Amino acid sequence: MKKNYSKRTFLLEIFAIMLGLIFLVPFYFVFINSVKGFSEILIDAAALPKEVLFSNYAKVWEVISFQDAFLNSLIITVLSIAGIVVISSMAAWKMVRTPGKLSKFLFIFFVSAMVIPFQTVMIPLMKLGGMLGIMNSIPGIVIMYFGFGVSLSLFLYHGFVKTIPQEIEESARVDGCSQFGVFWRIVFPLLKPITVTVIILNTLWIWNDYLLPLLVLQDAELRTIPLATSSFFAQYTKQWDMGLAALVLGIAPVIVFFLFLQKHIIKGIAAGSIK
Amino acid sequence: MEKQAKRKVKLNKILSYGAFVGPALLFFILVQIIPFFMGVYYSFTSWNGVSSAVEWVGLENYITVFTDDAKFFNSFLFTTKFMLAAVLISNVIGFGLALILNAALKTKNILRTVFFIPNVIGGLLLGFIWQFIFVKGFASIGNMTDIGFFKLPWLGDETTAFWGIVIVFAWQISGYMMVIYIAALQGVDTSLLEAAKMDGATNWDVLTKIMIPLILPAFTICFFLTISMAFKIFDLNLSLTGGGPFNSTESVAINIYQEAFMNNRYGLGTAKSILFFIVVALFTTFQVMFTKKREVEA
């Protein structure tokens, strides 16, 4: 059914490529200026560097203690997502498999919270966090991500579980498999496509989140990448030579993550948006 | 005997329901529901976040917000205007890109990746990146090409700063919308489009009378997502303009943050945050109902 590659398609292709290049211009600016000296940036930000300097990177790596920030971001993201996947897949499966008023109510309860803006709960949450003694700690912020991540993730799992036939689960039950056995050995592997989506959506959100870490993590050693970047810019305003190197370091991990998994990510985003 | 056995089965069912649903429910209630109701309570108090004495002041905070807080009113106005412009522009670009990439282009997979990339960068870093582009990058392009657009005082002037944030938001979000629109377009039965063309429909007719009505669910989702993202804008304009010039780009989210954590007026901050919740909830619910009504069964 493929149509011939007409002249019109060719022109459209040229147009699309040009648009794509325009989309990439910001990356060009950030990258080429991150290897220039300060005065060279001021003279002409669009020109290619006369000589490529990596000293900006070395300096800023120390100043923002990049490896610590990277590790903190990684630990928080991985732990939060592991928890979100476990609790929301289990809950969604049980709720679908136990139809009734309670499950229906709980589903609406979980999902309707999606319209609550974060700003509405953040102020009392800080008070509650203080009362529970979970402020300024990585486990504390991870718990909070569990609570915020569960609405959307449960919604996605809920929709997907409905499409899984029940027969296999029943026969496993008859063979004497426990509930947890049925879930982890049979159901959870079947949920893989939607688990990928849940992981991707939550990674992009948690890795890039700024406000919750800003409120919860006060110690400099606990800083995530966005926090380290913002405190760098607060301290060194307009130091663009180091600043741009900091930005390249900051965006590199998530861009690498994306480029490696782009097929899954784009598919996952589409799946996550259209039920 | 049988009764006891039945009771045991029932107890087991409750326990297993609790074991599976309980953890999700626990964290959800702890992190979202309890703070939400605490917020409702605190919005009627003079809480300053530090002292343990929390005094009930009735509607005072709400009255203050409505009668004596021009800054909050301005941030609401900015947020609403920004939301309208940002939603419109990012959906037009996103849908346009989807239409282009839905054609049989050889580079469509690479281009999809290219248009999507800005999405993976967080708002805070994005704001700093674009601060540099507007201040230094645009100036350089302006000197090179002599195009007036690049020589505008971006970020220095209220109007251009507003549009600057819209541009950055659209650059970030359009690719995301594009992905959703492409997924929807691929679900459209091409034989339907071919039949219409055979009957003499123009491309424009096919687009507006067949394609768009068929993929309205995608519009519902994209509008919902962009409206709520634009309403809650915080880190992007915080790092891009810092709310300036002259507070003209201070969003509601920034205003609430500052009221509570900078001015230490937690009671007033929570009152604003409750109002913010009501507006966001009403707006998104209304929009979903409005577009849902127009969806057709394919």
Q: Does domain A56-272 fall into CATH 2.40.50.140?
A: no
Q: Which of B35, B112, B139 sits opposite A121 (nearest CB)?
A: B35
Kindly provide the b/e burial profile for residues B118-142, where b requires at least 16 CB atoms within 10 angstroms of the residue's own CB. bbbbbbbbbbbbbbbbbbbbbbbbb
A16-30, B39-53, B217-231, B237-251: the lowest-pLDDT one: B39-53
Residue type at B63? I
Within 8 A of A121 by CB-CB distance, chain B residues are 31-32, 35-36, 39, 273
Enclosing H/E stretch for B83? helix B70-101
Residue type at A169? E
Query: Hey, are the CB atoms on B101 and A17 less than 8 Å from each other?
Result: no
Residue A274: which pLDDT band, with cuts at 50, 70 and 90?
low
Residue A1: which pLDDT band, with cuts at 50, 70 and 90?
very low
Residue A87 CB-half CA count within 13 A: 24
Within 8 A of A233 by CB-CB distance, chain B residues are 128, 239
If you measure CA to CA, which chain B residue comes closest to A126? B35
Residue B298 has a pLDDT of: 45
If you measure CA to CA, which chain B residue comes closest to A246? B125
**Cα distance from N-terminal residue to C-terminal residue, chain A:** 28
Give the C-alpha separation, A230 to A106, whole Å. 39
Query: Hey, are the CB atoms on B30 and A229 less than 8 Å from each other?
Result: no
Query: Hey, are the CB atoms on B100 and A115 less than 8 Å from each other?
Result: no
Residue B191: which pLDDT band, with cuts at 50, 70 and 90?
confident
Within 8 A of A32 by CB-CB distance, chain B residues are none
Give the C-alpha separation, B150 to B204, whole Å. 34
What are the boundaries of each domain within chain A? Answer: 56-272
The whole-angstrom distance between A126's CA and the closest CA on chain B is: 9
If you measure CA to CA, which chain B residue comes closest to A227? B124
B64-96: per-residue pLDDT in tens? 999 989 999 999 999 999 999 999 999 999 999
Within 8 A of A247 by CB-CB distance, chain B residues are 125, 128-129, 132
Give the C-alpha separation, A210 to A233, whole Å. 14
What are the boundaries of each domain within chain B? Answer: 1-42, 59-297
Q: Which residues contact B99 (CB under 8 A, 6 or more apart)?
A: B181, B185, B207
B59-297: what fold?
MetI-like fold (1.10.3720)
A19-43: per-residue pLDDT in tens? 999 999 999 999 999 999 888 888 8
